Structure formats: structure tokens, C-alpha cells
Amino acid sequence: MEGDGREALLKAVETAENGRNEESLKTKLWRENKKMWVVAGPAIFTRFSTFGINVISQAFVGHIGSTELAAYALVFTLLTRFANGLLLGAASGLETLCGQAYGAGQYHMLGIYLQRSWIVLIVLSTALVPVYVFATPILIGLGQDEIIAEEAGKIALWFIPVVYSFIVSFSCQMYLQAQSKNMIITYLAVFSLSIHIFLSWLLVVKFHYGIPGAMVSTILAYWIPNIGQLIFVTWGGCPETWKGFSTLAFKDLWPVIKLSLSSGAMLCLELWYNAILILLTGNLKNARVEVDALSICLNINGWEMMISIGFLSAAGVRVANELGKGDSRAAKFAVVNIVMVSLAIGVVLFTFFLLFRGRLAYIFTNENDVAREVAHLSPLLAFSILLNSVQPVLSGVAVGAGWQSIVVYVNLGCYYLIGIPFGVLLGYVIKLQVQGVWIGMLLGTLIQTIALMVITKRTDWDNQVSMARKRINRWFVEDQHEHEHEHEHEHEPTHQSA
């Protein structure tokens, strides 16, 4: 009887402990998801709105003419996605620095890092201008159709102000996300998107201004949120982290440049990889239909990528914040949680796009042959979406931890030594056309995703904490405003009562 009573007591204790463990896991998940969605929710919504600017522009351009649509697709997918990747990647170096400094409580450093990022991004943007000025000869040299390349050259000049808009847009987003203050960006993005829809209709449909009308609306849609963000940051929206313009922004620039360039290379290699799909397709038979269909597929894929990039931002911020605080277990838990949530959304979207196939093509085009080609490519689009639900999140982990340079080598190997050669082999040699190119490149993405999963799983997070601490301490500079305030107090006369 005593033995039975003991067993019952042990079982009761074990059940109670399991209940407590389960409750603590639920509590951890709840807290982590709240922190994650504070960053991911606005980031996804903002990315949707920003990407929506291009989709709206493309939809209006597509109804001007098929040559204009193919030209716009070339400029946006080939040139602007390259610029976008380079500048967004360079700005993601700011996400590493701001996230870790904020986690460590070094709030005034965020404003200094933001100004350093502006300097780097202005130089990079200016270096990209000749690519847009000489877009026509560059595209012809890459084997694109001459008529499409001529039209693309005219459209490319309109994109120069868009490239400069990325300086403020990306850097302010990284700066505000690190503090979980990015709701303001969402409001501005929605306002801008609403204006863009109205202006595009007014200038393209009502007044028939064609490409100039569509591009004027696009430029305004990019710059309106930037003005709002600058006002918010510099006029009291971030009192802890923005202490005004400082000459310290020009100090220790080289480490920031190195991190920005490795971050830029990492993300640029990923976005350029998709752009190469368009480049390779431009050399196939029936190039106009293939480019139009593929650009529509990549646009839809781009919408889903906005969700993934939102989770990339969340992963970067959560990992950087926890490493800055010195909590390796919380950083690891954040990684697992974000990957699982993003994958679940990816599975739902994978199923949706397999079911609807080519019906969504008619949003972008009136031509049946283009819509049929989109339907044919839909299974590959669905698999791309599934892979995109995991891979960018793991890239976000790299951004948060600050090991972008490792991912550069992974991307080079998987994308450019495996994906593209296999794509060329299947598309050109085995004659599978655009499907072959895409299958080969999906193989590269799959191998890259597996490689990042292995790296993340084998990461020593305690070591990452010590590396983050070293980085924070190495680049720390004293808050001039606090120092001046203390100095004033030291020299204040002491008044003794009579």
C-alpha cells in the first residue's frame, strides 16, 4: 500500500512539473511572439505597401503596351532589384549595430550609426547612377532585345530618384525597427500607396501621360514616406536615440563600411540571383512572352518575399537585441520561433498558388498567351514561395548576429556555382526553356537554405554573445550631450544658506 501511495505521489509531482514546464513554454512563446510581431507586423505591412508601389506602376505600364511592360520589367527586375539589394544589404549592417547597441542600452549610439549609414549609402547610390544612365547599351550588351532595351533606357532615367530614396527609406527603417518604433513607417506607407493609386490613374488613364505619368507618381510615392520618417526621427520621435547631427558620424567609418559592404554583398547576391532569371530568359525564343510571364511570376513571388523580408527584419532585430543583452538562450529561442511561424505561412501560400495557378496573371496583362505561360510556371512559383518562407529568415539571423560575410560565401557557392550553371544546362542545353532555368536556380536556393540551417544549428550562441559585446565596446563613443551636462553640473557654484 505504501509503495502504491509513493508511486501515486511521484506521478502527481511529475504531472505538476510537466504542467509547469508546459505553462512556461506557452508563456515563453506568447512573450516571444509579441516581441516578434511588434517588429514583423509593421515590417511586413510596410514592405507590402512599398512593393505595392512597383506592382501598381507595373500594372498601369502593362496596360500602356507589352513592349513598355517588358522594358519596365527589365529595369525594375534587373537594375533596380540589384540596386535595392545592394543598398538594403548595406543598410542591414545598421540593423546589426543598432539592434545590438539597443539591447546593450547604448541608446545614443543608434543616432551615430544612422548618420554613418547615410554617408555609406550616399556614396553607394551615386556609384550606381551610371548603370541607369547607360542602361540601353548595358542591356543590349547582355543580349536583350534592342527595341525593349531602347525603351528600358528611357524608363531607367526615371528610376535614379528612386535609387536615392532608398538611402533614407532603408536606413530609417533599420534604425526604427531596432527600437520597435516602426509603426510610423506603416502609416506613411499606406498614405503614400493611396496617393500612388490615385495619381497613377489620373496621369496614365485620365490624362494619357504614359510612362512619364506612371514614373512621376512612382517617384512621389517613394519620397513622401521618407520626408515623414525624417521629420519623425529628427523632431522628437526618438528622444533617447537621436541627439542631433554629430561629427562623430565621420569617426571609425571603416569598420561600418566593411560591415555594410559584406551585408550589401550578402543580400545583393540573393536578389540579383532572381534578376538573372529575367536576364537568361531574355535570350530564349519568344522572349517577350517569356519575360512578361516570368516578370509577373516574380512580382507575385515578390509579394510573398515581402512577408519573408518582414520576418528577416524581425529575426535580425530579435537576435541582435538578445545578443546585445547577453542572453544566448533567448536569441536561440527567437530563431526557432520565427522560422516555424514563417514556414507555416509559407505552406499556406504554397497551397494557395498551386490551386489558383494562372488566374492572377490577368491583374497584370490582357494577353492570353502571357496568362497561359504564367499558369505553366505556377508550380515553380509555389515551390519558390515555400523556400522563401525559410531562407530569408535564416539570412535575418545572420544579420542579427553580424556574420554576413559567412553568408556571402554560402550565397556565391550555392547560387552562382550550382544554381545558375544548372539553370543554363536545363534551360539551354536540355531545351526546357524558362522552366529549366528556374528549376536549376531553385536547386541553388534549396542547397543554400540547407547550408544556412546547418550553420544556424551548429552556432555557439554563447560565443556570439561575447562577439557582440566586443563589437559594442569597440565602437562605443561617449554621449557628448550627457558629458556636457555632467560638466556643467561640476562647475555650478554651490550656494550655502546663510
| Per-residue pLDDT at 487 | 46
How far apart CA 207 and CA 200 sit, in angstroms, is 10
| Per-residue pLDDT at 14 | 55
Nearest partner of 191 among 229, 157, 230, judged by Cα: 229
CA angle 209, 215, 218 (to 5 degrees): 130
> Which residues, other chains included, contact 1 with Cβ-Cβ below 8 Å and sequence gap of 6+?
none
pTM: 0.79
| Per-residue pLDDT at 20 | 47
| Per-residue pLDDT at 285 | 61
How far apart CA 43 and CA 186 sit, in angstroms, is 8
How far apart CA 457 and CA 454 sit, in angstroms, is 5
How far apart CA 85 and CA 263 sit, in angstroms, is 10
| Per-residue pLDDT at 169 | 93
Q: Are 360 and 303 spatial neighbours (Cβ–Cβ below 8 Å)?
A: no
Give pLDDT tens digits along the chain (498 positions). Answer: 545 555 555 555 455 455 445 557 888 889 999 989 988 988 888 888 887 888 889 889 988 888 888 899 889 877 887 888 888 888 888 888 888 889 888 888 899 999 999 999 999 999 999 999 999 999 998 888 889 999 999 999 999 999 999 999 999 999 998 888 888 988 998 899 999 999 999 999 889 898 999 999 999 999 999 999 999 999 989 999 998 888 888 877 777 788 788 877 777 777 777 667 666 766 666 566 766 777 778 777 777 888 888 898 899 889 988 998 888 888 899 999 999 999 999 999 888 888 776 677 777 777 777 778 788 888 888 888 898 889 888 888 888 887 778 888 888 899 889 988 998 898 888 888 778 888 988 899 899 999 999 998 888 888 888 888 887 777 777 665 554 544 444 444 444 433
Amino acid code (one letter) for 390: V
Buried b (16+ CB within 10 A) or exposed e, 387-421: bbbbbbbbbbbbbbbbbbebbbebbeebbeebbbe
How far apart CA 300 and CA 224 sit, in angstroms, is 25
Q: Classify 63 as helix, strand or coil.
A: coil
How far apart CA 203 and CA 486 sit, in angstroms, is 57
DSSP 493: P
How far apart CA 116 and CA 94 sit, in angstroms, is 9
Q: Are 46 and 173 spatial neighbours (Cβ–Cβ below 8 Å)?
A: yes
CA angle 46, 256, 258 (to 5 degrees): 105
